[in-house]
Amino acid sequence: MPLRPTHPLVDGRTTDSALVRAYRGDRPEQTPVWFMRQAGRSLPEYRELRARGDMLQACLTPELASEITLQPVRRHGVDAGIFFSDIVVPVLLAGVEVSIVAGRGPVLEHPVRSAADVLALRPLDPAALDPVREAVALTVEQLGATPLIGFAGAPFTLASYLIEGGPSKDQIRARALMHSDPHTWATLLNWCADVTGMFLRAQVEAGASAAQLFDSWVGSLSRVDYQRRVAPHSKRALDHLRGLDVPRVHFGLGTDRILPQIAALGVDAIGIDWRLPLDEASAAFDHAMPLQGNIDPALLTAPWSVLAAHADDVLERGRRPPAHVLNLGHGVPPETDPDTLTRLVAHVHGDRPEHD
Ligand code: CP3
């Protein structure tokens, strides 16, 4: 089933937006910019709304999720909204007990570690995604010509949380299971691919104009393990978008060893973390892949002149790929001064009243 005629990419609202053009390999006059984790604790208006309740509950309350998504778009004038949700939302909707602990991240009371644990996982009922569809539809209605990015966690990153029971440094237990019980591993990653793929598809069908897969913890894998035991499942997650003509974006941390394997997933654009200069990353794709990134989030607290010079360097290196979407190399740190982000957006858009 293709995108509906009222989808913003089909009715023309976002078709020629700078973000969509860049993801498709065109170079718009102004470099589009948005920030991973632009919604969230760096914004006082977010902290005020969230003070009333639980993070995952907020994700499943359409009016609230929509309002939080719109906050950074209004405040900073970024070129895209990213849907306010979390990678564990589809896992929760499939019946797994998971909560988000402030300052830590997703935590499971009963981690998934044995073959029996994996067999006990239930498929995700598509109707459970209705609050997600509703929140996306509400948001897109208000965004007009500004595209909404839908997102999902990649199977490896999701499985790492399920197996470890929370955030972990090197995903040791996950990598051990991969080798000690490859069959259970494959079953778990297929389950993750399907719940996360359905979550992503629901957002796109409801109006998202791009889809980003986050494989945050993929940097702990060897190239061979990624290729054999992880990439096929990422592909399966993305396959849930079949028939939907929407740009697909991949982001991971520490991906320099596996860039060709990521390109082979069939994505339209690739996000790079702050450690690899964009011109070097671009060379790994023979300068044929649109790139996204990669301001070092640590520099958001540096003096403005230092940050502006770094942003200019990123923009300069971003001229090597066919197109560039400016972003951070990872999410906005919660202690970031929101005015710095607003100023950065204006700077990237070429608005430099102070000749800075
Ligand atoms: O603005 C946006 O980027 C949209 C929303 C978004 C959130 N999580 C909201 C959130 C997105 C895209 C995510 C993805 C996500 N969640 C990833 C992949 C991206 C990445 O950062 O690598 C991962 C690994 C998670 C898991 C997760 N959820 C973590 C590590 C945390 C942080 C815990 C903390 O308090 O430091 C969360 C919670 C979370 N997700 C928050 C937000 C705004 C903070 C929760 C709060 O407000 O209390």
Whole-model pTM: value is: 0.97
Do the beta carbons of residue 205 and residue 239 sit within 8 Å?
no
pLDDT at 1: 78
CB atoms within 10 A of CB 151: 22
- If one residue of 35, 76, 82, 87 were mutated to test the ligand 1 pocket, choosing by the most ligand atoms within 8 A of its CB, it would be 87
SS percent in the chain: helix, strand, coil, step 5: 45, 10, 40
Q: Report strand pairing: 105-108 vs 98-101.
A: antiparallel
Long-range contacts of 307-316 (CB under 8 A, 24+ apart): 307/340, 307/344, 308/347, 308/356, 311/344, 311/347, 311/348, 314/278, 315/31, 315/348
Ligand 1: lining residues by beta carbon, under 6 Å: 36-41, 50, 55, 82, 84-87, 100, 102-106, 151, 153, 157, 167, 214, 216, 331
> Considering only CA atoms, which residue is closest to atom 37 of ligand 1?
105
> How far is the C-alpha of 298 from the C-alpha of 280, rounded, in Å?
21
In tens, the pLDDT along 107-155 reads 999 999 999 999 999 999 999 999 999 999 999 999 999 999 999 999 9
Residue 324 tokens, joined? 């560039």
- Of 72, 76, 71, 80, nearest to 21 by C-alpha is 80
The ligand 1 atom at the shortest distance from the C-alpha of residue 216 is 22
pLDDT at 142: 98
pLDDT above 90 as % of the chain: 96
Do the beta carbons of residue 268 and residue 24 sit within 8 Å?
yes
Distance 88 CA to ligand 1 centre (A): 9
> Considering only CA atoms, which residue is closest to atom 4 of ligand 1?
84
In tens, the pLDDT along 169-180 reads 999 999 999 999
CB atoms within 10 A of CB 350: 10
Angle between helices 338-348 and 304-317 (to 10 degrees): 40
The ligand 1 atom at the shortest distance from the C-alpha of residue 102 is 35
- If one residue of 34, 86, 213, 328 were mutated to test the ligand 1 pocket, choosing by the most ligand atoms within 8 A of its CB, it would be 86
Do the beta carbons of residue 168 and residue 160 sit within 8 Å?
yes
**DSSP label of 332:** P
The ligand 1 atom at the shortest distance from the C-alpha of residue 47 is 47
**Mean pLDDT of all residues in the chain?**
97
pLDDT at 52: 73
CB atoms within 10 A of CB 254: 15
**Per-residue pLDDT at 243 exceeds 80:** yes
Distance 37 CA to ligand 1 centre (A): 7
What would the DSSP string read from start to end of 135-161?
A: HHHHHHHHHTTSPEEEEEE-HHHHHHH
> How far is the C-alpha of 9 from the C-alpha of 5, rounded, in Å?
9
Residue 57 tokens, joined? 């509950």
Angle between helices 130-143 and 182-205 (to 10 degrees): 40
